[in-house]
Amino acid sequence: MYRKSLAVLLSAGLILSVNGVYAKNIPTSQDNPSDTAFDNKIIKKIKADNMYDIVAKLSEQPRAAGTEGELIGVNFIKDEFEKYGYETELQPFTFLDVLVGTGTLEINGQAYDPYVFSGSYSAKVTAEVLHVGKALNGEVPDEVKGKIALIERGDIPFVWKLQNVLDKGAVGVIMYNHSGTSNRVGVANPGQDIPAVTITKDQGLALVDQLEAEPLTATIDVRDSGYVENTSHNVIATKKPHKNKDTGQIVVVGAHHDSVSGGPGANDDASGVSAVLEIARVMANMQTDTEIRFVTFGAEELGLLGSYHYVSTLEEEEIDNIVAQFQMDMVGSKDSGGDHEAGGLIMYTIDGERNTVTDLGAAAGARTSEVIPYGQLGRSDHQPFYEVGIPAALFIHAPVEDSYHTPADTIDKIDKNKLKQTADIVGASVYQIARFDTPALEHARVAPGPVDYEYDDRPVQ
């Protein structure tokens, strides 16, 4: 699960607004006994213990994109796929990694202990200080040219404030907080070549007063900060269809293997990876008329970078042939007790509309355990697939177990039954379209088994 940060959105140019119109869908359920027999070929082989062991292994260390920990995870996943007999590819891609450096600040001979903006440009500058208020759009005075801008936090994003004073020729930024006692705030975008530090609210207000009485000259010295190119990987294992039965259709089953920095990411998203691997293991020797791609994505937590990269490498014809993308993210949420309860499984689409994936999932759920509702949410790797027109959905529990994105996202937060239920439903769904006796979907616009299920918009926390 990716928590949107404004800086990332701005730098990636991704500000999306999606307004769904929710149709009421009341198709009738038609249980076909032979479907259940086919389901059993999958779900009787899916072992919760295997999945749990994979989550335990992957969560031995954090797997932040571009780190040694991610690479250990990537190689583990590749080895597993190869052990099951798959042709497996590591797909590298580069991204800009933010560096948090150190810095000093001195004003009229007095030393401060500033926080350096994440990704701030590294440089040493000395100049006169000018207070520019909140540096709102269109309100930064021309006199800031050649000076260090003293800025109050608030109302608009950090990166806008930086840009507003940069555009007027400022040479440095001192931002003061607008509340609390902390100075640990602020993110700069790549290309904003100005050293930027933050101080506390009290320090800032004192400087504003001081400026009334006398001119101030500041020296900002920022080191080891900025952006560097780093490399992450997607892992792709491909199951080819039977030569004589190939329908040309492709199904993608995905999860993300990276974690946030410092978090072991057991639920987010070693759990999803364990489901991808277990479904791959079970299907390794099954005959299909459909190509199945098992993909684990890197750098999801930095803004879905791995899945965007993967989709960008697809040929038009491949995009046409991919009839469904199943994304599993945080599919082991255990109830943590107390006043927080992890919720049930739900399928989320980007537009909130049902599609081939949710229809397959709802039908498989009805046959194997329970009908799974659907709702509207992005924030995982189904998003880039949706954007090129591929039916895609995220399988997740809502509300999620609440220690995700923290060092406490450990194996003890994983519920084996939830892992198993998710893998059963996604595995049975995939097998329903991939096996010989169901016809290929015409660009996935036709759902196989109608089933009665409902919209659900419960919050993901």
Binding site for Zn ion (CB under 5 A): 1, 268
Nearer to Zn ion, 268 or 291 (CB): 268
DSSP, res 250: E
Closest CB 106 distance from Zn ion, rounded Å:
40
- The CB-of-1 to Zn ion minimum distance in angstroms stands at 4
Name the residue nearer to Zn ion (CB basis): 293 or 405.
405
Q: What angle do CA 336, 337, 341 make, to 5 degrees?
A: 75
Identify which of residues 241 and 332 has a Cβ nearer to Zn ion in the complex: 332
| CB neighbour class for 28 (10 Å; exposed up to 12, middle 13-18, buried from 19) | exposed
Q: How many CB atoms lie within 10 A of CB 280?
A: 23
Identity of the residue, 393 or 396, whose beta carbon is nearer to Zn ion in the bound complex? 396
Which residue has the CB atom at the shortest distance from Zn ion? 1
In the complex with Zn ion, the residue whose CB is nearer, 1 or 127, is 1
| Residue 269 burial class via C-beta count within 10 angstroms: exposed 0-12, middle 13-18, buried 19 and up | buried
Q: Which is nearer to Zn ion, 221 or 409 (CB)?
A: 409
Q: How far is the CB of 6 from Zn ion (least distance, A)?
A: 17
Q: Report whether 362 contacts 374 (CB < 8 A).
A: yes
Task: Tell me which H or E stretch contains 103.
Answer: strand 102-107
Count other Cβ atoms within 10 Å, centred on residue 378. 21
Q: In degrees to the nearest 10, what's the CA dihedral of 22, 28, 33, 39?
A: 0
CB 59, min distance to Zn ion, A: 13
The distance of closest approach from Cβ of residue 310 to Zn ion in the complex, given in angstroms and rounded to an integer, is 18
> In the complex, what is the shortest distance from the CB of residue 3 to Zn ion, in angstroms, rounded to a whole number?
7
Report the residue number, 1 or 74, with the smaller CB distance to Zn ion: 1
With 0-12 CB in 10 A as exposed, 13-18 as middle and 19+ as buried, what is 61?
A: middle
Half-sphere exposure of 449 (CA within 13 A, CB side): 25
Please say which residue, 1 or 275, places its beta carbon nearer to Zn ion: 1
- In degrees, to the nearest 5, what angle opens at C-alpha 373 toward C-alphas 370 and 374? 150
- Cα separation, 249 vs 445, in Å, equals 12
Shortest distance (Å) from residue 329 CB to Zn ion: 7
Q: How far is the CB of 404 from Zn ion (least distance, A)?
A: 6
Classify strands 172-176 and 196-199 as parallel, antiparallel or unpaired.
parallel
CA distances from 111 to 146, 177, 180, 183, 222 (A): 22, 18, 21, 15, 14
* Least separation in angstroms between CB 256 and Zn ion: 8
Q: 63 or 233: whose CB is closer to Zn ion?
A: 63
Which one, 50 or 327, has the nearer CB to Zn ion?
Answer: 327
Q: Distance between CA 423 and CA 47 in Å, rounded?
A: 9
Closest separation in Å from C-beta 263 to Zn ion:
8
Least Cβ distance, residue 265 to Zn ion (angstroms): 7
Half-sphere exposure for 421 (CA within 13 Å, toward CB): 23
Which runs of consecutive H residues, i.e. helices, occur in 171-300? 201-213, 271-283
Look up residue 129 and give its amino acid. Answer: V
Nearest alpha carbon to residue 357 among 379, 385, 329, 332: 385
Q: Which is nearer to Zn ion, 1 or 42 (CB)?
A: 1
Closest CA to 325 of 283, 405, 384: 384
